[in-house]
Amino acid sequence: QTSLPGTSLPAVSQYACQRRTTLDNHNKLLTDALEVLAENCEFNDSKGPCLGFRRAASVLKSLTTALSCLQDAVGLPCLGDESKNVIEEIFVCGSSSRVEDILADERYQTLKLFTSVFGVGPKTAEKWYRRGLRSLEEICADSSIHLNRMQEAGFLYYEDISKPVTVAEAKAMDCIIKEAASCFGSGVTINLTGGFRRGKTFGHDVDFILTVPEPGKEDGLLPMVIGRLRSQGLLLFSDFQESTFDLNKMPSHRFEAMDHFQKCFLILKLRTALEEGKQRGPTRRRDWKAVRVDLVVPPVDRYAFCLLGWSGSTQFERDLRRFARLERGMLLDNHGLYDKAANTFLPAKTEEDIFAHLGLDYIEPWQRNA
Ligand code: DCP
Ligand code: MG
């Protein structure tokens, strides 16, 4: 590893896939501020500045010490003038006026509230805001607003699914999914992915990746799992998407593109102890919590790529793809890795294989919290 000029400190890579980023964030005050700015840019549809702030926050998350002044940031990659100004103001004044203004801004607050509903993205939130709507109650009361099925479920279970999912709840969900998939045969493998695989103790949902030993034999798996959950009375909402996977389609340049594997976005009932529901009222008492669960099912020969893609973080995934393209002339997505010069897809059984193809040191899932 190279060093920063004039110091013994190792240089920090501009790519998150060449940094080890644990959940131990020593610069949370700074990264929280930069992420508010990024989110606000996202609401204003300014993609470039948004990415700039996200990259800056991501670099700071990888540091093993806390910065104490702007001078400490000299030599760090991805810190643009705007990010540096914010960092400096926080060191000098304790907070950033620009960030405080955004946090107090009605539009920011409203869009943040609206996009916290399952199925509501920035575009829809903006549309509602422009109509003068400011609260979830106002949306529900407005008969001229058409909600799709996902948004309807989002409002119906809002109270539960807006609360973070705990590790204990993710583990309980793991048992439910394993039980539901067991009748498909003993060969099914099920792995927790997403934020919980990176060691997070809370998540907004629980992500699972499932597969079977023989490629092409996975087709019936999800419909069967969903059917079983339904018959157990646990299925509150299901959006099932059939596979449109075709290896002949090259990996795309666009990161945002969802992968083409069979998948479903669910809301499931998770049984809880009664005392957990602290509400004492007779009508509110129930022994379950609604939890968001995503299931994805790649054919087994695509498993490593899909696991890597769904493990995140989003910033880590972005930089893996950018690194592959710019530094290696390869295209990476959740389906595969394509070597442009050799005009061929590279096979991989494990995530380690993919890092090796890219000439990268292996980064453990809990070091991918970029
Ligand atoms: N992902 C991706 N491309 C997208 C969306 C997500 O590659 N367009 C990946 C990165 C995420 C993973 O899928 O880490 C799971 O998505 P989540 O939105 O569930 O994100 P996390 O699990 O990381 O966070 P949370 O704790 O909020 O669930
Ligand atoms: Mg998740």
Q: Are residues 253 and 269 in the same domain?
A: yes
Question: Which residue among 174, 239, 294, 339 is the active-site one?
Answer: 294
CA-CA distances (angstroms) from residue 13 to 77, 325, 326? 7, 16, 14
pLDDT of residue 318: 96
Confidence class of residue 319 from pLDDT cuts 50, 70 and 90? very high
Is residue 10 one of the residues assigned to a domain? no
Q: Are residues 202 and 77 in the same domain?
A: no
Concatenating the DSSP letter of every residue in 265-316 gives: EEEEEEE--GGGS---STTT--SEEEEEEEEEE--GGGHHHHHHHHH--HHH
> From CA 306, how far away is CA 297, in angstroms rounded?
9
Q: Are residues 183 and 296 in the same domain?
A: yes
Tell me: pLDDT of 248 over 80.
no
CA-CA distances (angstroms) from residue 99 to 48, 96, 131, 163, 338? 18, 5, 26, 25, 41
Q: Are residues 181 and 274 in the same domain?
A: yes
Tell me: pLDDT of 255 over 60.
no
In terms of residues, how long is the chain?
370
Please give the ipTM for the structure prediction: 0.94
Which tokens in the block code for residue 32?
């929280």
CATH number of 255's domain = 3.30.460.10
Q: Angle of helix 47-61 relative to helix 314-328, nearest 10 degrees?
A: 100
200 touches ligand 1 (CB under 6 Å): yes
259 touches ligand 1 (CB under 6 Å): no
pLDDT of residue 164: 98
**What mean pLDDT is predicted for residues 364-369?**
98
pLDDT of residue 253: 57
Specify the number of domains making up the chain: 4
219 known ligand binder = no
**What mean pLDDT is predicted for residues 12-22?**
98
Phi, psi of 195 (to 5 degrees): -60, -35
pLDDT of residue 22: 98
Confidence class of residue 284 from pLDDT cuts 50, 70 and 90? low
Edge-to-edge strand list for the sheet holding 262-271: 189-193, 206-211, 288-297, 262-271, 235-241
Provide the residue range defining the domain that includes 73: 16-102
287 known ligand binder = no
> From CA 67, how far away is CA 319, in angstroms rounded?
23
Is 81 annotated as catalytic? no
CATH number of 46's domain = 1.10.150.110
Confidence class of residue 231 from pLDDT cuts 50, 70 and 90? very high
Concatenating the DSSP letter of every residue in 71-130 gives: GGGTT-TT--HHHHHHHHHHHHHSS-HHHHHHHH-HHHHHHHHHHTSTT--HHHHHHHHH
Q: Are residues 176 and 285 in the same domain?
A: yes
CATH number of 314's domain = 3.30.210.10
Is residue 352 one of the residues assigned to a domain? yes
**What mean pLDDT is predicted for residues 222-251?**
91
Tell me: pLDDT of 296 over 80.
yes
Confidence class of residue 185 from pLDDT cuts 50, 70 and 90? confident
By DSSP bridging, strand 206-211 and strand 189-193 are antiparallel
> From CA 268, how far away is CA 67, in angstroms rounded?
42
pLDDT of residue 7: 61
CA-CA distances (angstroms) from residue 222 to 56, 226, 269? 39, 6, 18
Q: Are residues 287 and 170 in the same domain?
A: yes
Is residue 11 one of the residues assigned to a domain? no
Tell me: pLDDT of 133 over 70.
yes
294 known ligand binder = yes
pLDDT of residue 285: 77
Q: Are residues 123 and 244 in the same domain?
A: no
Lowest mean pLDDT among 70-79, 139-148, 274-283, 311-320: 274-283
Confidence class of residue 291 from pLDDT cuts 50, 70 and 90? very high
Tell me: pLDDT of 276 over 60.
no
Residue nearest to atom 5 of ligand 1 (CA): 314
Question: Where among 102, 120, 140 does a domain terminate?
Answer: 102
Question: Where among 268, 300, 332 does a domain terminate?
Answer: 300
Confidence class of residue 206 from pLDDT cuts 50, 70 and 90? very high
CATH number of 122's domain = 1.10.150.20
Contact of 362 with 320, CB cutoff 8 Å = no
Q: Are residues 136 and 76 in the same domain?
A: no
Amino acid identity of residue 288, one-letter, is: W
Tell me: pLDDT of 257 over 70.
no
- Least Cα distance to 286 among 275, 296, 301 occurs for 275
**What mean pLDDT is predicted for residues 156-177?**
98
Q: Are residues 219 and 295 in the same domain?
A: yes
Tell me: pLDDT of 289 over 70.
yes
Amino acid identity of residue 79, one-letter, is: L
- Least Cα distance to 262 among 311, 308, 212, 317 occurs for 212
Kindly report, residue by residue over 340-365, the tens digit of the pLDDT.
999 999 999 999 999 999 999 999 99
Quick one: what percent of the chain has pLDDT higher than 70? 92
**What is the rounded average pLDDT for all residues in the chain?**
94
Contact of 153 with 236, CB cutoff 8 Å = yes
Tell me: pLDDT of 277 over 60.
no
203 touches ligand 1 (CB under 6 Å): yes
194 touches ligand 1 (CB under 6 Å): yes
pLDDT of residue 105: 98
Q: Are residues 184 and 87 in the same domain?
A: no
Is residue 180 one of the residues assigned to a domain? yes
pLDDT of residue 234: 98
Confidence class of residue 9 from pLDDT cuts 50, 70 and 90? low
Kindly report, residue by residue over 18-49, the tens digit of the pLDDT.
999 999 999 999 999 999 999 999 999 999 99
Q: Which of 114-128, 233-247, 261-275 is most confident?
A: 114-128
Is residue 246 one of the residues assigned to a domain? yes
Per the model's pLDDT, the better-predicted residue between 273 and 70 turns out to be 70
> From CA 330, how far away is CA 122, in angstroms rounded?
31
Is 319 annotated as catalytic? no
> From CA 330, how far away is CA 324, in angstroms rounded?
5
Is residue 49 one of the residues assigned to a domain? yes
Looking at the chain, the number of H-run helices and the number of E-run strands are: 15, 10
Cα–ligand 2 centroid distance for 203 (angstroms): 6
Question: Where among 259, 279, 300 does a domain terminate?
Answer: 300
